[in-house]
Structure 1
């Protein structure tokens, strides 16, 4: 595994790249590898390079999009509520998905990957995201000038990205033959299990913002 100081340096470099708006040109090939490799691997992946790559991407590249969203909102004179939106939306969507899945969940959507994920919970998460977005986004620029369906569609997209992130972490853990991410990242494991949805929702929201505001 890469030395901790080198991993930390890479994460700081990614954050700085985000601050100076050069993130899109950074780590293209490693990101592609991270997403593709676990999906096509039958046997456990080599742990040393994958652990290091997982750490850099999850603790560097993905959360750096929050900086990009903040800079984008500041440059366009958008409300700070736009920055908080993906955080609140992801939390509400995840909460609804968990609660409904726990109480009403019957149909498993990925029993071999994430046994606790149900169709009922997934639909509840998507519906909650659509409702929250419909109430929140039309009051904020640049969504206030968009067709009415853009707001709920944005919420659904973020919720879908977040739930995909949750599934992806489960795929990764199975691919490298580990039970939980805390064994991969030490004290960061429990934290990542709680924010994996947000880490995938942030890039989705940032690139949707670029598309809508152009």
Structure 2
């Protein structure tokens, strides 16, 4: 539908905006660093939410939108995301995000926005009365379910980046 195309195109375009923050040709790789950290954070959030939510999840996050998502899963995703960002800081693996505080703030933004993207996509599916947005990744809500967190995280991380690292904008 046109809503899906607009939604994916508009929010997804922030990925290009993040990459454009890099100064290619020997310059500062902030855009590519940020996009890699964003991917690590979103995947960590999904994994933490899945495992903790499956193991101990009892309190529904938003039962009417997605009955399997729990507050415990949300907290598990947050802890794993913050842990992943902390490890990147300790390992000194980012040449541009070199403050542990900034990395933890990045992790917090990811932890808040990824579940919102996931819940929004679940709400679209529920309103359209469909189980999955595709059949390529069976049992996981379709291929869009792998990227719904990214779609809401990218705009937030773009604006966080130009706020914390203003010399790149």
TM-score (norm 2): 0.81
Query: Does residue 77 of the first structure (1) align with residue 32 of the second (2)?
Result: no
TM-superposed deviation, 1:141: 4.7
Measure, in 1, the Cα distance between the counterparts of 2:38 and 2:162: 15
Inter-partner Cα distance in structure 2 for 1:73 and 1:129: 24
SS in 2 for 1:130: helix
Query: Are 1:52 and 2:23 matched, yes or no?
Result: no
Number of matched pairs: 156
Conserved? CA contact 2:40–2:84, under 8 Å: no
The answer to whether the 8 Å contact 2:33/2:96 transfers is: no
C-alpha root-mean-square deviation of aligned residues, in Å? 2.2
Query: Which 5+ residue runs of structure 2 have no aligned equivalent?
Result: 136-140
**Bigger radius of gyration among the two:** 1
Task: Give CA deviations for 1:58-86 in whole Å, capped at 9, x if unaligned.
Answer: 1x122222211111023661254332111
Q: Is the helix fraction higher in 1 or 2?
A: 1
Matched residues in 1 for 2:34 and 2:131: separation? 36
State the Cα deviation string for residues 10-50 of structure 1 (Å, max 9, x = none). Answer: xxxxxxxxxxxxxxxxxxxxxxxxxxxxxxxxxxxxxxxxx
Cα offset, 1:158, TM superposition: 0.9
Normalising by structure 1, we get a TM-score of: 0.65
Q: Distance in 1 between matches of 2:37 and 2:151?
A: 14
Q: Which runs of 5+ in 1 are unaligned?
A: 1-50, 184-188
Match of 1:127 in 2: 79
Which whole-Å CA distance do the structure 2 matches of 1:208 and 1:103 have between them? 33
In 1, Cα distance between equivalents of 2:36 and 2:101: 21
What do the CA deviations read for 1:130-157 (whole angstroms, capped 9, x no partner)?
A: 111122257335432x5x4332121011
Q: 1:106 aligns with which of 58, 63, 76?
A: 58
Query: Residue deviations 1:142-179, cap 9 Å, x none?
Result: 432x5x43321210111210110000111122233333
